[in-house]
Structure 1
Amino acid sequence: MSSLARPTDDPPDGTAPVPVSLEPDHTSHLFDDGNAERYRRSVTEVVERVASRLSRVDRPFTGITAAELEPEFAAIDLDKPLGDPAEALDELERVYLRDAVYFHHPRYLGHLNCPVVIPALIGETVISSINSSLDTWDQSAGGTLIERRLVDWTTERLGLGAAADGVFTSGGTQSNLQALLMAREETRERALADPRDAAWTAADVLPRLRVLTSEVSHFSIAKSAALLGLGYEAVVSVPCDLERRMRPAALAAELDRCRREGLIPMAVVATAGTTDFGSIDPLPEIADLCAEAGVWLHVDAAYGCGLLVSRRRHLLDGVERADSVTVDYHKSFFQPVSSSAVLVRDRATLRHATYHADYLNPRRAAGELVPNQVDKSLQTTRRFDALKLWLTLRIMGADGVGGLFDDVLDLAAAGWALLDEDPRFEVVVRPQLSTLVFRYLPPGAAEDPDLVDAVNLHSRAALLASGDAVVAGTKVDGRHHLKFTLLNPRTTPGDIAAVLDLVADHGRRYLSEPAGRELSGSRAS
């Protein structure tokens, strides 16, 4: 007998003694009716900790480096649990919360990360606790209907029509992948059914397929083409105008070239809110070209979908003509990651993501009209992310969300005016959404592009190291630039002005240091 078990007193009926385990009761950590009070205390403690930390955050980042933080993790033995939730939260405070990047801070101006609204956080608590899986009705019940109603609401806002449908996804990358999967299958079926090409097989069609998108579209378009077996070379990069929007004339020329060369345009991907510039491609003109050529039109509105609830809704005119649309609620709807969807004009095209498994979604379930969302999705097990948006709309309303997005668009306009009037900086384009791309121009260095690159790279790194602000970076025409992605309604023009001063100060200090002077002198010579 194990030393961790002992017999009870002999039962009165003379049966064998029943061993009683002295092992720890691991079920004490399960979320169930027996541990409701433990759950209440634990969640309350977490909320108190996060709220306390949030109230003390005075800058978006501490500036800690990976090399400085890694030893903390190396010293943690994951095979030796702490046991006490309070001790575990103390440790979490030290290794994560203390040095986290806080998107809610008004001087976080980096990537497409938004501060989140409280109604969505309420949803997160429910989602994690109940842990529904949205793949089948018998794992989610009402959760399925909430997601379906939100899909309908979004397609109505997009104007896709009565036959529209869609499904929630993990993010814009997955949404774009699924959209291009549907475009590939629809195009392949059409090509194989064309009597003019009766001798073609699937092997003949795939190498001819092409995806046309702007030169500043999201990298997930190229990645999706590779994952779909088309290769990166299947993506045709269409030139943009000075506002960084796809040029319809250039698209028409590429479509014509594809036809002449025996290639098959599989899809045109228009972007409603490019990652670098927030630019919106001319959707009506692109839709005209796609209709004329019979090509699938996908609109990547991962960033610009906030316009659906904005007073600037007209900027999305033409999106209603798309065959598929990507939306990321976790960008411009102020939702926690992840919350995204892919929407389609014709629900029948979602069949290209359908696979029936007898143990999950048998064919007979479809015949019995059981609403299994896995029939539409690339994922199987899937979080009930729709609940966050549902509670946001039920508590704040669409106008409340749209007002937040309009605030950051107004802020971007004010930020552009500051940059345009400041001789220290060069701004690339006037924003359509809330992104500002610019660079610091050291006095007398405008003719030395390598020096300008070095100064801007240094300024961004120095800002991150200080923790005073977080800004993003990108390349424009081969040269390094800085980028403000404005998604925080609490950020003010004063914050933007202060960060610009910090950028310039770091640039000047760099030039005054030996390394900077040496670089400047070598370039001058």
Structure 2
Amino acid sequence: MVTTTKNHKANLFDLFVLQQGEEGAEAFRKQTDLVADTVAEVLRETDQPFIGRSVEEIKQQLLPVMSVPESAQSLNEVLQEMKGPILENSLYVSHAKSMAHLHCPPLLPGVLAELIIGALNQSMDSWDQSPAATYVEEELIRYVTETVNYPETADGVFTSGGTQSNYMGMLLARDAFCLSQWNHRVQTDGLPENFRKMRVLCSENAHFSVKKSISQLGLGEQAVIPVPVDEHHQMDPNEAVRIVEELESNGLLPFAIAATCGTTDYGSVDPLEDLADVCKDKGLWLHVDAAYGGGLLLSHEHRNKLAGLERADSMALDFHKWLFQPISCGVFLLEDRKHLRLLSHHADYLNPVEDEADGILNLVDKSIQTTRRFDALKVLMTLKTMGTRLLGSMIDRTMEVAQYAASELEKRPYFKVINSKPEMSTVVFQYRTEEIESPGELNRKIQQKLFQDGRAVIAKTAVDGETHLKFTLLNPCTSEKDVDEVIDEIEKTANAILGGTPH
């Protein structure tokens, strides 16, 4: 009786645990085919970027799905149960009229690589958990540093995205400063006595993760000093110099500038060459948040906008933005790998000193994470399958459509475009008429109505405290016709909200 029960359980285990051998391979193939068929069915049936259900409707549809059974269900039964409430209620970022956030349509090689990543389940923290994967990541990092034009001293690591990469940049900038200024090792001794005097400069349009990182690193948000921007939403280097000198004259300690290459709203690029000169002259660390703008590394027509990027001490790049990879897929790069020692901790079971002596590479030394995914495989498969020429053309195409969108909005009488010559692929604008006292509230309602109806997914943001609308054009399949139709929808929605009379 007991033996039968154990055998029965063992047979059930075989159904769910991914195994080697003929039976394991066949079970894997059948179940992945079933999932692929279900997703393909949903994609065939989808003609909107969002189905248009309300928050309450989606919550109610999900309740039955969230009941967890004691007994196993068939995969087909589970997929059919989830199809409507989860798959159909998702945002379809690959739709041509999904143009809200820095949330790209994933390329098929990257999606298929995700299947391999999940099946192999490599953990990137030690070589014996990821023998081939370790060297795939290492060589791909070398390729990216060469593409950036970094020197041979450069290094880097894959991250979850820009926020983690910015955190690492601020962490190493802080610790390198404390080491050079006071011969103080934060890693072992904690923050130095004068840490409250330390300051970081960044654009007033910088990503929130800069301030968030500095607060988490114990310096407090007050340590982040915003630098005014010019009419192009770029950090003013003269203002940066003035602020650095003012801080120093007040006995404070500026130690880094966090520049932005592609701001979230405007896609603006801070003057990297000028800021690199400032940092060199003042002895500051230059970190560049190029999570968005770094995508231009493969551009045929706009690569020149990255001039000076190679002079950064560290930088953030996100491949899940303009390299069209499934989330998550970011990279942190460092001009001089010697600073990675400020992260290193030896754990006997992961990266013992004997391994280092034997030349074994354990990537945990490079990261603030321990367990990490084999995300480098997605990038490798994409680069090899598609080639850099095609990828660069896709990036340039999104820029072309963004420029068209800005010019088309400018032609229409009731739109004001904030960045009429887009630096990247975002366009910020507002629908307004002379009769409207609160255009911000109208634009908020337009964005919500379009989303709730599923007709178009666009973003909203604040400019001088007023709600504006934003196109974020990351889909190379989005056409000028798609843009025209979305602008038409905005006008129709505005007229409907205002009482049905054209304004």
Q: TM exceeds 0.5?
A: yes
The equivalent position to 2:453 in structure 1, one of 466, 484, 490, is 466
Distance 1:342 1:243 in 2: 27
The answer as to 2:291 corresponding to 1:302 is: yes
Q: Alpha carbons of 1:248 and 1:36: their partners in 2 closer, same or farther (altered >3 Å)?
A: same
Q: Secondary structure at the match of 1:439?
A: strand
Alignment partner, residue 367 of structure 1: 357
Structure 1 position 250, deviation (Å)? 1.0
Whole-angstrom distance in 2 between the partners of 1:103 and 1:349: 38
Aligned pair 1:275/2:264, yes or no? yes
Which has the larger displacement, 255-264 or 466-475?
A: 255-264
CA contact (8 A) 1:222 1:232 kept: yes
In structure 2, the gaps of 5 or more residues are: 185-189
Opposite residue 275 of structure 1, the aligned amino acid is T
2:462 maps to which residue? 475
The answer to whether the Cα contact below 8 Å between 1:73 and 1:95 also exists between their aligned partners in 2 is yes
Q: 2:368 aligns with which of 375, 378, 381?
A: 378
> Which position in structure 2 is the counterpart of 1:156?
146
- Structure 2 CA distance, aligned partners of 1:91 and 1:193? 60
Give yes or no for contact 1:188–1:205 (8 Å, CA) kept in 2. no
Letter in 2 for 1:247: D
Indicate the SS of the match to 1:58: coil
* 1:334 lines up with 2:324 in the alignment: yes
Specify whether residues 95 and 202 from structure 1 end up closer, same or farther in structure 2 by C-alpha distance, changes over 3 A only: closer
Partner of 1:498: 485
Cross-structure match for 1:523: none
Show the counterpart of 1:70: 59
* Counterpart check, 1:58 vs 2:52: no
- Kindly indicate whether residue 191 of structure 2 is the aligned counterpart of residue 186 of structure 1: no
- What is the aligned partner in structure 2 of residue 16 from structure 1? none
| TM superposition score normalised by structure 1 | 0.91
TM-align CA RMSD:
1.9
- 1:264 deviates by 1.3
Partner residue in 2 for 1:435: 426
CA–CA distance in structure 2, aligned partners of residues 35 and 153 of structure 1: 36
Change (3 A) 1:20 1:318: closer
* SS of alignment partner, residue 256 of structure 2: strand
Q: CA deviation at 1:496?
A: 1.2
User: Which deviates more, 317-326 or 399-408?
Assistant: 399-408
Greater displacement, 73-82 / 422-431: 73-82
- Determine the C-alpha separation between the residues in 2 that align with 1:302 and 1:287: 18
Task: Look up the equivalent residue of 2:171 and give its one-letter code.
Answer: L
Following superposition, the deviation at residue 323 of structure 1 comes to 0.1
After superposition, give the CA deviation of every residue in 1:345-366 in whole Å (9 maximum; x if it has no partner): 0001111221111121112222
Q: Deviations over 1:236-256 (max 9, x none)?
A: 111101111111111111111
Matching residue of 1:198: none
Aligned partner of 1:457 among 444, 464, 473: 444
Q: Distance in 1 between matches of 2:212 and 2:3?
A: 62
Is the 1:209–1:234 Cα contact (8 Å) retained in structure 2? yes
Percent identity between the aligned chains? 39
Structure 1 residues 191-230: Cα deviation after superposition (integer angstroms, max 9, x where no partner): 1049xxxxxx953231111111000110100110011001
Q: Equivalent residue for 2:187?
A: none
Any idea what SS the aligned residue of 2:193 has?
helix
Provide the aligned length of Structure 1 versus Structure 2. Answer: 492
Tell me the secondary structure at the aligned position of residue 498 of structure 2.
helix
Q: What is the rounded CA distance, in whole Å, between the counterparts of 1:91 and 1:242 in structure 2?
A: 52
Secondary structure of 2:123's aligned partner: coil
Q: Is the 8 A contact 2:350 2:362 kept in 1?
A: no
Tell me, yes or no, if the aligned pair for 1:192 and 1:202 is still in contact at 8 Å.
no
Mapped contact 1:213–1:269 kept (Cα < 8 A):
yes
Q: Counterpart of 2:15? A: 28
Aligned to 2:111: 121
Give the 3 Å change call, closer, same or farther, for CA 506–82 of structure 1 in structure 2. farther
Deviation at 1:21, TM superposition (A): 5.0
Amino acid at match of 1:494: K
Secondary structure (helix, strand or coil) at the match of 1:211 reads: strand
Q: Please report how far the alpha carbon of residue 6 of structure 1 lies from its aligned counterpart in structure 2 after TM superposition.
A: 5.1
**Aligned-partner residue type, residue 462 of structure 1:** K
- Looking at structure 1, the residues matched to 133 and 390 of structure 2 have their Cα atoms a distance apart, in angstroms, of 24
SS in 2 for 1:442: coil
Distance 1:130 1:290, change over 3 A: same
CA distance in 2, matches of 1:474, 1:170: 24
Q: Which runs of 5+ in 1 are unaligned?
A: 9-18, 195-200, 521-525
User: Are the equivalent residues in 1 in contact too, given 2:58–2:89 (CA < 8 A)?
Assistant: no
Q: Structure 1 202/172 Cα, relative in aligned 2: closer, same or farther at 3 Å?
A: closer
**What is the alpha-carbon distance in structure 2 between the residues aligned to residue 363 and residue 152 of structure 1?**
24
Task: State whether structure 2 residue 423 is matched by structure 1 residue 421.
Answer: no
Equivalent AA in structure 2 for residue 36 of structure 1: A
Distance 1:375 1:7, change over 3 A: closer
Deviation at 1:490, TM superposition (A): 0.9
| Residue from 204, 215, 235 that aligns with 2:204 | 215
One-letter amino acid matched to 2:41: S
Rounded to whole Å, the distance in 2 between the matches of 1:319 and 1:72 is 48
In structure 2, distance between residues paired with 1:239 and 1:215 = 6
Question: TM-score, structure 2 length as denominator?
Answer: 0.95
Q: CA deviation at 1:443?
A: 4.9
Q: What letter is aligned with 2:405?
A: G
Q: Which residue of 2 aligns with 1:410?
A: 400
Aligned partners of 1:134 and 1:381 also within 8 Å: yes
Letter paired with 2:429:
F
SS at match of 2:194: helix
For residue 82 of structure 1, report the CA deviation from its aligned partner. 5.1
Match of 2:338, SS? helix
Give the conservation status (yes or no) of the 8 Å contact 1:82–1:88.
no
| Cα deviation, residue 425, structure 1 | 0.3
Q: 1:238 aligns with which of 227, 232, 247?
A: 227
Mapped partners of 1:217, 1:31: distance in 2? 44
Q: Aligned partners of 2:129 and 2:359: how far apart in 1?
A: 16
Q: Is residue 292–residue 318 contact of structure 2 (8 Å, CA) maintained in 1?
A: yes
How far off is 1:83 after superposition? 1.5
